[in-house]
């Protein structure tokens, strides 16, 4: 299949957006006055001109999102923008997201100019960004507005975190210190926050400004955080010494759990550790041992005081038993969990599995029945076990056309959709969030439908969930586009289309323009290096990284790569793990736990992201079977790759 070059790929995306918006207008989804929104090409060109400082076509002044064009122009010239112009823009658009986006850049520019009166005039009390708050505090100090409230505000910034503060906070903190209002007591408060962050560098920085009589001990504390030493046994027997020593050993335990455990008794005895102090160290020693399933895992887990256990450690204790195939130990770990954790679908399933493996088949059955009421990975496994339909109770949310037209015509939603369609998702999200704050629940759900009509599919993930029943809005939460493309490329690679759709939902939520921090791109989040390699192996022309934004190219390469993973590992659930984590960790997990049942192997994956990703993709495959075909391949067979025949029905459980 030919792969389009970069320019063609961009053109395809633009034409698709333009024709899609035009279709919505013709269908009556968008109101007549907003038909200009359909001209995404003109809006995109205008925005690019504004961002380059070039003139914008006069006709664009009537565009629903024209304020964003003006903002882009002003922001480009913000360093030299006349104060009157900046303040006028804020006044014209007061209360709108575009003003807040501009305000952030405007405040920084005014601070650079040292226009402190301008900063105060542009300030909004709703701002929570610490760097901007410090600019405003500096402005107050430089305009003679230091009072008791100013002191409280700066001290609150000082106390807000043990991590490094933004550079803009240096000036107000220096002023506070010069006024004698940042004494040793406050410095020790922040030192203890840095201790809790286990940040030796910040501890040293704070120590430098303590009184000379305090510095020696503070520096020794910081040295211990960096590398535990025997001098700690001579520290004052205080709560602060215990805090530093326990956090220092806990930090050390992440690198060398057994060495931290060995040092613990002497220091704990010398400083009078509480159970919480001891538990802090043993917790980390156990966690970092069990996360790699090292030989001392069970022993260290048993040493952690019960008071130090949380949900995370309870889970790892259960996984540790599973990894050793010590079914009684794993079952005991699950039954030691708190009520709410034990009631999660995952742990109901594994309690049933482990009860059955330890001989309690009768006790397992009600647990399987309970798990099977959940429309998720473990619930679907339980339904397979019982031979019953998958639990799915879809909510067919169908608002009146008039209600949908009203939401589509809302000015904030119109602006959000226009910005999204020209690839300004950050600004679009600001408009979207502001609009939803004004909506009731039904209006919010309609807004999700409008967003998806505009190709903004992840709003079904981020715009729903405030009400429990919204989890049943499956057609919104699990969008489906390019079905013919997915089916064609899946057939070409001998893959199940529902699996490929599930991968797309997990990777990009059907956003063809998605790009990850790691530079994975498009529907199936293919890395450019992977795309080039797959294209080379298949003898396909390679159009470069930008071509991955073309859905046809992306799905062709993504499915081919997924097929390579399936051929490499044989088992679909292992291929899914490798697609997410790569071959090295996947090979290690296979070597550590060969011939383990799929559900146990997935649950004992060391990486949380991959562990949840595999379960999520498999569950999504079932839901996309429902969306695409009405019936599902049994999940147990799908995991093992033994059958893709869709023989399982869906039904809403009674009650």
Residues 254-302 pLDDT 10s: 999 999 999 999 999 999 999 999 999 999 999 999 999 999 999 999 9
Q: Are 517 and 641 contained in the same domain?
A: yes
pLDDT level of residue 37 (50, 70, 90 thresholds)? very low
Q: What is the pLDDT of residues 625-643, one digit of tens each?
A: 999 999 999 999 999 999 8
Q: Are 159 and 190 in contact (CB under 8 A)?
A: yes
Q: Residue 8 pLDDT > 50, yes or no?
A: no
CATH of the domain at 607: 1.10.530.10
Q: Are 491 and 564 contained in the same domain?
A: yes
Rg (CA), the chain: 29
Q: Is residue 243 part of a domain?
A: yes
Q: Are 501 and 615 contained in the same domain?
A: yes
Mean pLDDT, the chain, rounded, equals: 93
pLDDT of residue 17: 46
pLDDT of residue 506: 97
Q: Are 236 and 336 contained in the same domain?
A: no
DSSP 650: E
Q: What is the pLDDT of residues 223-246, one digit of tens each?
A: 999 999 999 999 999 999 999 999
Structure tokens at 303: 């040493």
pLDDT of residue 398: 92
Taking CA atoms, 472 is separated from 9, 136, 141, 345, in Å, by 36, 46, 54, 17
- Its domain, for residue 248, covers 210-308
Region of residue 510 (left: phi > 0; alpha: psi -120 to 50; beta: else): left
Q: Are 535 and 487 contained in the same domain?
A: yes
Share of the chain above pLDDT 70, in %: 94
Q: Is residue 232 part of a domain?
A: yes
> In 10 A of CB 163, how many CB atoms?
10
Q: Are 508 and 637 contained in the same domain?
A: yes
Q: What is the pLDDT of residues 500-521, one digit of tens each?
A: 999 999 999 999 999 999 999 9
Q: Is residue 266 part of a domain?
A: yes
Q: Residue 527 pLDDT > 80, yes or no?
A: yes
CATH of the domain at 326: 1.25.40
Q: Is residue 493 part of a domain?
A: yes
Own/partner long-range contacts of 397-406 (Cβ < 8 Å, ≥24 apart): 397/445, 397/449, 397/473, 397/476, 399/442, 399/445, 399/446, 399/449, 401/28, 403/442, 403/443, 403/446, 404/29, 404/446, 404/449, 404/450, 405/28, 405/29, 405/31
Q: How far apart are CA 437 and CA 607, in angstroms?
A: 36
Domain count, the chain: 3
Q: Are 218 and 334 contained in the same domain?
A: no
Domain end, chosen from 371, 390, 422, is at 371
The 3-state secondary structure of 432-499 reads HHHHHHHCCHHHHHHHHHHHHHCCCCCHHHHCCCCCHHHHHCHHHHCCCCCHHHHHHHHHHHCCCHHH
Q: Is residue 355 part of a domain?
A: yes
pLDDT of residue 541: 87
pLDDT level of residue 19 (50, 70, 90 thresholds)? very low
pLDDT of residue 526: 97
Domain end, chosen from 265, 281, 308, is at 308
pLDDT level of residue 38 (50, 70, 90 thresholds)? low
Q: Residue 5 pLDDT > 80, yes or no?
A: no
Q: Is residue 560 part of a domain?
A: yes
Q: Are 498 and 642 contained in the same domain?
A: yes
Q: Is residue 48 part of a domain?
A: no
pLDDT of residue 139: 98
Q: What is the pLDDT of residues 614-627, one digit of tens each?
A: 999 999 999 999 99
Q: Are 261 and 355 contained in the same domain?
A: no
Q: Is residue 570 part of a domain?
A: yes
Q: What is the pLDDT of residues 539-579, one digit of tens each?
A: 988 999 999 999 999 999 999 999 999 999 999 999 999 99
Q: Are 488 and 601 contained in the same domain?
A: yes
Alpha helices in 509-571 (DSSP H): 528-538, 551-569
pLDDT of residue 540: 87
Q: Which of 370, 376, 334 minimizes the C-alpha distance to 351?
A: 334
Q: Are 260 and 326 contained in the same domain?
A: no
Q: Residue 107 pLDDT > 80, yes or no?
A: yes
Q: What is the pLDDT of residues 345-397, one digit of tens each?
A: 999 999 999 999 999 999 999 999 999 999 999 999 999 999 999 999 999 99
Domain end, chosen from 308, 333, 359, is at 308
Q: Are 301 and 318 contained in the same domain?
A: no
pLDDT level of residue 655 (50, 70, 90 thresholds)? low
Q: What is the pLDDT of residues 424-477, one digit of tens each?
A: 999 999 999 999 999 999 999 999 999 999 999 999 999 998 899 999 999 999
Residue with tokens 């097929």: 563
């Amino acid at each position: 299949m030919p792969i389009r070059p970069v320019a063609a790929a961009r053109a395809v995306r633009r034409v698709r957006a333009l024709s899609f918006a035009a279709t919505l207008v013709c269908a009556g989804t968008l109101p007549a006055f907003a038909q200009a929104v359909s001209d995404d090409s003109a809006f995109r060109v205008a925005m690019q001109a504004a961002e380059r400082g070039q003139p914008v076509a006069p006709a664009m002044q009537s565009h629903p999102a024209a304020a964003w064009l003006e903002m882009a122009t002003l922001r480009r010239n913000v360093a030299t923008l006349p104060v009157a112009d900046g303040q006028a823009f804020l006044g014209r658009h007061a209360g709108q997201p575009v003003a807040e986006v501009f305000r952030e850049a405007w405040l920084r520019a005014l601070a650079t100019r040292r226009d402190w009166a301008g900063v105060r005039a542009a300030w909004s009390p709703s701002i929570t960004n610490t760097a901007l708050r410090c600019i405003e505090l500096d402005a107050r100090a430089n305009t003679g507005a230091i009072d008791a409230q100013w002191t409280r505000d700066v001290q609150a910034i000082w106390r807000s975190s043990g991590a490094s503060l933004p550079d803009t906070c240096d000036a107000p903190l220096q002023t506070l210190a010069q006024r004698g209002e940042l004494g040793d007591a406050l410095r020790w408060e922040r030192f203890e926050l840095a201790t809790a962050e286990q940040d030796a560098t910040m501890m040293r920085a704070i120590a430098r400004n303590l009184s000379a009589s305090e510095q020696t001990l503070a520096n020794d504390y910081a040295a211990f955080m960096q590398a535990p030493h025997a001098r700690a046994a001579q520290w004052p027997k205080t709560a602060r010494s215990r805090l530093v020593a326990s956090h220092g050993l806990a930090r050390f335990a992440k690198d060398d759990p057994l060495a931290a455990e060995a040092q613990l008794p002497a220091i704990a005895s010398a400083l009078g550790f509480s159970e919480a102090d001891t538990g802090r160290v043993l917790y980390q020693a156990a966690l970092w041992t069990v996360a790699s399933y090292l030989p001392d895992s069970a022993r260290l887990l048993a040493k952690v005081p019960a008071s130090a256990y949380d949900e995370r450690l309870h889970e790892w204790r259960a996984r540790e038993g599973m990894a050793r195939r010590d079914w009684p130990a794993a079952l005991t770990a699950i039954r030691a969990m708190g009520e709410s954790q034990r009631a999660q679908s995952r742990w109901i399933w594994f309690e049933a599995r482990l009860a059955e493996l330890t001989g309690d088949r009768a006790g397992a059955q009600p647990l399987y029945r309970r798990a099977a009421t959940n429309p998720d990975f473990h619930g679907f496994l339980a339904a397979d076990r019982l031979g019953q339909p998958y639990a799915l109770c879809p909510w067919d949310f169908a608002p009146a056309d008039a209600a949908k037209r009203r939401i589509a015509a809302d000015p904030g939603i119109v602006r959000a959709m226009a910005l999204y369609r020209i690839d300004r998702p950050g600004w679009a999200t600001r408009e979207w969030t502001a609009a939803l704050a004004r909506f009731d629940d039904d209006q919010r759900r309609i807004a999700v439908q409008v967003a998806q009509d505009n190709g903004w599919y992840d709003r079904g993930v981020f715009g729903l969930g405030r009400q429990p029943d919204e989890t049943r809005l499956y057609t919104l939460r699990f969008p489906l586009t390019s079905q013919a493309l997915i089916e064609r490329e899946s057939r070409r690679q001998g893959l199940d289309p529902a699996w490929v759709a599930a991968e797309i939902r997990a990777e990009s939520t059907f956003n063809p323009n998605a790009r990850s921090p790691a530079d994975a791109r498009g529907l199936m989040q293919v890395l450019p290096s992977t795309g080039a390699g797959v294209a080379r192996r298949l003898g396909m022309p390679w159009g470069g990284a930008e071509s991955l934004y073309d859905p046809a190219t992306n799905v062709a390469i993504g499915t081919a790569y997924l097929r390579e993973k399936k051929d490499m590992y044989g088992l679909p659930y292992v291929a899914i793990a490798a697609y997410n984590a790569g071959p090295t960790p996947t090979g290690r997990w296979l070597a550590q736990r060969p011939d383990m049942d799929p559900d146990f192997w997935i649950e004992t994956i060391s990486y949380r992201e991959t562990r949840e990703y595999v379960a999520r993709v498999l569950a999504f495959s079932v839901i996309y079977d429902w969306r695409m075909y009405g019936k599902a391949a049994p999940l147990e067979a799908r995991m093992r790759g033994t059958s893709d025949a869709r023989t399982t029905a869906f039904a809403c459980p009674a009650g």
